[in-house]
Structure 1
Amino acid sequence: MKGVKKVLSNPALCQELDKSSWLWTPPGASRKKYESHDFAGYGSYDVKTTPSVSDIQSIDHSFHEKEQGEKKLGELEATAISGNDILSSTFYVSGLVSTSAGKLAPLCLTLVGFVLYLFRGIYHETVMALPCNGGTYNILLNCTSKQTASIAAVFAIIAYITTGVVSAIEAIAYLQTILPEDCQIDQQIATIALLFFFCLLTNLGMSESAFVAKSIFVIHVAVLSLLTILGVIYTIFNSELLFENWETPYPSVDAAGEVLTGTFFTAIFYGFSSAMLGVSGFETSSQFVEEQAAGVFPKTLKNMWVGVMVFNPLLSLVSFAAMPLQEIMDNKDTVLARMARVVGEWFQGCLFIPEHYVSLGSLFSFIISVDAFIVLAAALLTGYVGINGLIRRMSMDRCLPQFFLISNPWTGTDSFILCGFFLLCVSQVILLDSDVEALGGVYCYAFLTVMTIFALGNILLKIKRPTLPREITTSWLQSILGLVSVVIALLGNILGKPELLTYFFVYFLIIGTLVLVMFQRTQKTNLSFQIYTTMILALTTKKREIITIADTVKNFQDIPFVFFVKHDDLHMANKAVLYIRKNEQTNKIIFVHCNGTSTETSTSNLQDHVKLLDLLYPRIKISLLVVNSNFNATTVEWLSRSIEVPINAMFISCPDENFSIKKSQLRGIRIITSND
């Protein structure tokens, strides 16, 4: 298919849609006098177009070339990218849980594994029903309002920031165990340096390679498996310390500022709450689901669950057999390295290997520390890549400033996003003085809120999008149990570390305010316009400044949005207008009806209803475009190119089981109304 032309925009079609069908003020129109920037004008209701055969062939050819040239991630590659994040928490979660759960730490980590099993089904149902990147943001964007989705994204951003900082601090802590004792490094400076290093790499264009991620993951799993097997053998033959630790009293806990004597209940409650940090990164796979091959996403969930369920409880149990509880709590940042040293020294004695030949304890500890440093660094790189995708998606949806979409002219990377992420991470390092426990608390607030919102999104999907096709359907009991579990964990972290709420809300307000300003910028500009025009008219008779401001206000909103209508349904069309008016800053809506290949089907009733809606909403220009083509991915792409409307600015009502196209083929078209 060589020589097929590239489909370009169609200015004539755009002008036809922008031209009013009325030569005079239509009967029944509002008599209110609107400002020039406030009145959108009247739409066009009889525009019809037929895509040319060559245009359709060109787009089909580009789709085919993309499918042939694009290699989707397989199970191992996708699991590796996610697994490097979630399994990196193994290096620090055991020590953190021991400070509040004491001897019940392995049990608490096992309970978290059961909770994660619940979320396997919740994530599987929700993400595969809406298989687009974005995680909680994408789910709520298709089930609720854009404002609600953006609030969820704020929590995800904070979670990315804190998990990046925790990974960097822990990587430096394990690096310190490799260096000679007389070589001490400043943890805070080293952490900032590591964050800057990866900021520089990602700005130079280095993204996470599936091959590199796979290599790190395979080595990491092999190291953890070897340590677990050797540790279990050690525990079988050296259980004395394990029973001694079991006799220790439960640790005292801080409950909203009041120190409580430890009990079985406090150990389970607060231990389980802090143990949820061990599943950080479980949501990572949903951030790049579009890049995964068919059927891979649920397998990544299963693989991550198996890793968390096996490694975290067993390694915690082995640490209790290898080290006194107090030592575990004092060295909570590097528990595995110290445990590996003890296990290695025991095996050296069993094998009668002379110490002057090789020290297995030092060797095991060195291997664990190197592996920890590498995989924690890989988790930090995942944070940079993940935050870049989320911020870019939100900027494209106009939830964040458009300058975030400006690419670096030399490297093509999103430098504003990456450097902003680096600065926010550095601020956390300084404000919380590299305190892993404090950072873990802040992270838990954000991460558990994200999981709570995801569970709520799953419930909303059942209620508001019941006809949406999905691979599996989880039971209501599973969804509710998952929601209750993370709410309990969130409550435990709030009660245990209430002082960290201040830091959490500082970041929430900074990022949330930026999002709020973007949503309210049209209203604020209108208010500024009213105040400024009043002042100008009071001081001068010149109106040039007023016209300039009016044009600026209008340009904010002069971006069309598309809603595809399948039938002549006035109720559905009105719901679409109400949604767009509430969630988008626009004064143009184009209803598009795909009429199939027939040009004789009457659309007069649909035209009349669009006219009615256009008169009902004078601040929005509502037009109708009838496309003589079937509704499919090719037609959507042709329309996007022809009228210069991005696909993420196109909406549909909720499809049902008779919908002939997979949601993944529509590449980001938003579901904004149900079929009721």
Structure 2
Amino acid sequence: MTSEWPLESTLPSYPPDDMEEPWIAIEPIARSTDVGPAQSSDPPTFRESQFDIILRRQRTRPRDGGGLKDTLATSSRFLNLSSDFEFAGWGSFSKLKLTTEDHTVGEERLQRIRRAQLLGQFTGTALPGNAVLGSVFYALPAVVAVCGVYSPISLFMVTLTPFLWRPIMEELASALPISGAPYSYILNVSRKSFAVLGAALLLLDFASTSVVSAATASSYLAGEVVLPFPAFVGAGLVLLIFALISLTGLKESARIAFVVLTFHIVTMTALTIASIVYWARSGNAQLQQNWIDGQAPSRAAIARQLFNGFCLGMLGLTGIECTPAYIGRMKPGRFPFVLRNLHLPAIVLNTLMITLVLATVPLEQVLQGANVLSLLAEMATGRWLRKWIVVDAAVVLCGGVLTGILSACELFEQLAHDRIVPQVFLNILPVSGAPYISVVVFTAINAVLYSSSGAKLAIVSKMFSLVWLTVMGLFPLALLLLRFNRGRLPRERTTPLSIIAFTLVLTPVVFAGNVVIDPSTAGYFAAYLIGVLAVFAATQNQVHLLRAVYWTYDQYPVLHRWAASKTWGRALVRVMARLKRQPVCVLVKTDEINHLLHMLLYVRENEETSCVKIVHFSDEENGVPSELEANAKILDEAFPEITIDLIIVQGMFSPANVASLAHRLQIPPSLMFMSCPGTQFAHPIAEFGARIVSL
């Protein structure tokens, strides 16, 4: 259906010579006459002179577009390109009425968002719960190795730390109930470059989850049966098999995850009951002997072992950082209950299991074997429970591998929409719908991570602890930035500043403790992080890199004498121009030029684009702000490297209309920017999908 207000050409609009511009209303200024003075001596109002200076210059522009204010005033930095290369073109003004098709698409998107919120507190717990409660298989051996008989104390102290993080994560989730945290939190409260750091850490976290889970599963199997290949080959096969499974289009299901978690809880309950019964029958002799054998020589040594166990014990909480990633699929108000359901069982499971191990298994066997829980099961009841534990470990840990792969695919998809990685990551297989590029790239990252560590589970586990701590440190930092930069955002709870500060101090202390335990893990962590950041920086700043390449080529005149080189240079210019013309949208409510300027400065500093569309939704009640068009033209003059189009959309500012506009302009909602809403805002912020870029 044809729109009543068709979207005009992107070329600048000029009124015909014989017609008045309908958006210009300049009333004549009273002047002195021979009869007497003018009736009013007040200075002209803005309405009387709003376009006088701007249009005086803009009316001289060519009607077919282009035209700099003064092409000789600024010389180009390129020897073989004129100043026109830096000029993006003049913007345009247009009115737009959304069509029925646009409204239909917008409503469908809004309904998909609302229908996706199906997870209750138990199904929402199942998704990250397998990682949190399954980490007991690789956390206990790491802690016992450095803490010995003091492990129960260290692990108990570790399991109390979520009391610090829970209120922080709850406040962030209530203010920004969007998936992809902490990357998405930082993207909405700070610069995009900082958010890229969060994305790099998340990717390393997902890769570490997959590698550690696969290696631990292979280690448990190797401890029970004789494998025809080394354990590291088994870990590689697990990673490869689940990469192939993910290519079939298998999606993570909350119900399947709930079944796996239920099986794991039943297994741990059976092991706990059997171990307690065995402990009651055998008495405390083994516990006393282990305590004597594992005593440290001094109080300082005891404190050191407790601190080392506390630092490595953070592995027992890995997975809790993934919880906000699913908040977009949770029913409103369920997130605090999910955190509680993850935290309280972790306290009981980690502390109780390590206590039962020390009460029933000789310390020498505990320190020598990686399958700590298998030893406990065999000691308590015999081989049948040990086999059950191995099956449970394989199922839960392999589920962790698949969770890491799927989480990484979702992260790559979000990064592609935000133009941090190439759009090729959005390609899917025609039959299964699986994002095969994301799966292949993530599998390659896993292979590099595991092989570069020498296929040693201990190194990857310790490095995993550093990654996890850094990711968790982003939550209090994001909350501080939210308080300062987006303080108007409504939220259901407020965390005391003292808790935020203590958490920020605790994180680097524990990080340093892990580095002291094994300094080599800091090298692995830094190398992997720098590598991922370098790739992200290159893909996010493609235009800047291409400009540097062309500038280097431009400095050697001899290269311009060859036909092939000239063709290559012209192709490079076309690629830069195409990348720069990818548009973004700025949603504005007012016409205050300082607000518009801050929004445009954000776009210029964070997005590689020369095409910005300023959009204002206008209804019959409020109309169009009087100075919006004039200020848009001023900014179009101030930023010659950016084409600034002003679009007035008929309708209310609502999630459905924003989604309809995204369909009409073919701009993803993630590349639509808006200011921070206040407490009186009528719509849930998560339904817009837009990025908050100003206070």
TM-score by length of 1: 0.89
2:661 is equivalent to residue 639 of structure 1: yes
**Could you tell me how far apart the structure 1 residues matched to 2:251 and 2:181 are?**
20
Please tell me whether the aligned partners of residues 107 and 656 of structure 2 are also in contact (alpha carbons under 8 angstroms): no
2:97 is equivalent to residue 50 of structure 1: yes
* Structure 1 letter corresponding to 2:238: L
Match of 1:531 in 2: 552
Alignment of 1:127-138 (within 5 A): 127-138=173-184
Alignment length (residue pairs) = 637
* Structure 1 letter corresponding to 2:656: T
Post-superposition CA distance 1:313-337 (Å, at most 9, x none) = 0101111101122321211x21011
Which of residues 473, 487, 509 in structure 2 aligns to 1:452? 473
Match of 1:420 in 2: 441
Distance 1:178 1:143, change over 3 A: same
Please tell me whether the aligned partners of residues 20 and 41 of structure 1 are also in contact (alpha carbons under 8 angstroms): no
Distance 1:611 1:541, change over 3 A: farther
**Could you tell me how far apart the structure 2 residues matched to 1:220 and 1:452 are?**
29
RMSD, matched Cα: 2.6
Of stretches 545-554 and 501-510 in structure 1, the one that deviates more from structure 2 is 545-554
Match of 2:515 in 1: 494
Please tell me whether the aligned partners of residues 586 and 674 of structure 2 are also in contact (alpha carbons under 8 angstroms): yes
2:351 is equivalent to residue 313 of structure 1: yes
Which of residues 581, 598, 614 in structure 2 aligns to 1:558? 581
Which stretches in structure 1 are left out of the alignment for 5+ residues? Answer: 253-259, 345-360
Alignment of 1:410-489 (within 5 A): 410-489=431-510
Cα drift, residue 65 of structure 1? 5.7
**Could you tell me how far apart the structure 2 residues matched to 1:100 and 1:122 are?**
30
2:284 is equivalent to residue 239 of structure 1: yes
Match of 1:99 in 2: 145
Post-superposition CA distance 1:389-434 (Å, at most 9, x none) = 1112112211122222222234321112111211221223323233
**Could you tell me how far apart the structure 2 residues matched to 1:547 and 1:56 are?**
38
Please tell me whether the aligned partners of residues 106 and 659 of structure 2 are also in contact (alpha carbons under 8 angstroms): no
Which of residues 683, 686, 692 in structure 2 aligns to 1:661? 683
Please tell me whether the aligned partners of residues 231 and 318 of structure 1 are also in contact (alpha carbons under 8 angstroms): yes
* Structure 2 letter corresponding to 1:556: L
* Structure 2 letter corresponding to 1:40: A
Distance 1:436 1:607, change over 3 A: same
Post-superposition CA distance 1:471-503 (Å, at most 9, x none) = 221111222222222222111111111112222
Match of 1:283 in 2: 321
**Could you tell me how far apart the structure 2 residues matched to 1:129 and 1:418 are?**
32
Please tell me whether the aligned partners of residues 452 and 486 of structure 1 are also in contact (alpha carbons under 8 angstroms): yes
2:263 is equivalent to residue 227 of structure 1: no
Secondary structure in 2 aligned to 1:479?
helix
Which of residues 9, 16, 22 in structure 2 aligns to 1:16? 9
Post-superposition CA distance 1:99-132 (Å, at most 9, x none) = 1122221111111111112111111111231111
**Could you tell me how far apart the structure 2 residues matched to 1:489 and 1:411 are?**
43
Which structure is richer in relative contact order (CA contacts within 8 A, separation 6 or more)? 1
Cα drift, residue 66 of structure 1? 3.6
Secondary structure in 2 aligned to 1:400?
coil
Please tell me whether the aligned partners of residues 89 and 643 of structure 2 are also in contact (alpha carbons under 8 angstroms): yes
Distance 1:394 1:539, change over 3 A: closer
Post-superposition CA distance 1:13-46 (Å, at most 9, x none) = 2x534545545348977742553432101112x3
Match of 1:32 in 2: 74
Secondary structure in 2 aligned to 1:594?
strand
Alignment of 1:378-417 (within 5 A): 378-417=399-438
Secondary structure in 2 aligned to 1:566?
coil
**Could you tell me how far apart the structure 2 residues matched to 1:529 and 1:18 are?**
28
Alignment of 1:337-352 (within 5 A): 337-344=374-381
2:148 is equivalent to residue 125 of structure 1: no
Please tell me whether the aligned partners of residues 104 and 268 of structure 1 are also in contact (alpha carbons under 8 angstroms): yes
Distance 1:469 1:613, change over 3 A: same
Match of 1:519 in 2: 540
2:362 is equivalent to residue 324 of structure 1: yes
**Could you tell me how far apart the structure 2 residues matched to 1:321 and 1:638 are?**
64
Post-superposition CA distance 1:595-647 (Å, at most 9, x none) = 2234x834331111111111111111112111121100111011101111110
Match of 2:631 in 1: 609
**Could you tell me how far apart the structure 1 residues matched to 2:261 and 2:403 are?**
13
Please tell me whether the aligned partners of residues 228 and 311 of structure 1 are also in contact (alpha carbons under 8 angstroms): no
Cα drift, residue 648 of structure 1? 0.5
Post-superposition CA distance 1:186-230 (Å, at most 9, x none) = 201111111110000001111222222111111111111222233
**Could you tell me how far apart the structure 1 residues matched to 2:160 and 2:271 are?**
23
Of stretches 430-439 and 656-665 in structure 1, the one that deviates more from structure 2 is 430-439
Distance 1:659 1:29, change over 3 A: farther
2:128 is equivalent to residue 82 of structure 1: yes
Cα drift, residue 150 of structure 1? 0.5
Cα drift, residue 10 of structure 1? 12
Please tell me whether the aligned partners of residues 611 and 642 of structure 2 are also in contact (alpha carbons under 8 angstroms): yes
Match of 2:154 in 1: 108
Which of residues 575, 593, 596 in structure 2 aligns to 1:573? 596
* Structure 2 letter corresponding to 1:39: F
**Could you tell me how far apart the structure 2 residues matched to 1:261 and 1:196 are?**
47
Match of 1:670 in 2: 691
Cα drift, residue 382 of structure 1? 0.5
Please tell me whether the aligned partners of residues 166 and 339 of structure 2 are also in contact (alpha carbons under 8 angstroms): yes
**Could you tell me how far apart the structure 1 residues matched to 2:154 and 2:345 are?**
16
* Structure 2 letter corresponding to 1:75: Q
* Structure 2 letter corresponding to 1:566: K
Cα drift, residue 172 of structure 1? 1.4
Give the percent of matched residue pairs that are identical in Structure 1 and Structure 2: 26
**Could you tell me how far apart the structure 1 residues matched to 2:419 and 2:296 are?**
49
Misfit runs of 4+, over 6 Å:
8-11, 26-30, 541-544
2:617 is equivalent to residue 597 of structure 1: no
Please tell me whether the aligned partners of residues 101 and 250 of structure 1 are also in contact (alpha carbons under 8 angstroms): no
Post-superposition CA distance 1:322-372 (Å, at most 9, x none) = 1122321211x210111011121xxxxxxxxxxxxxxxx111111111111
Secondary structure in 1 aligned to 2:670?
helix
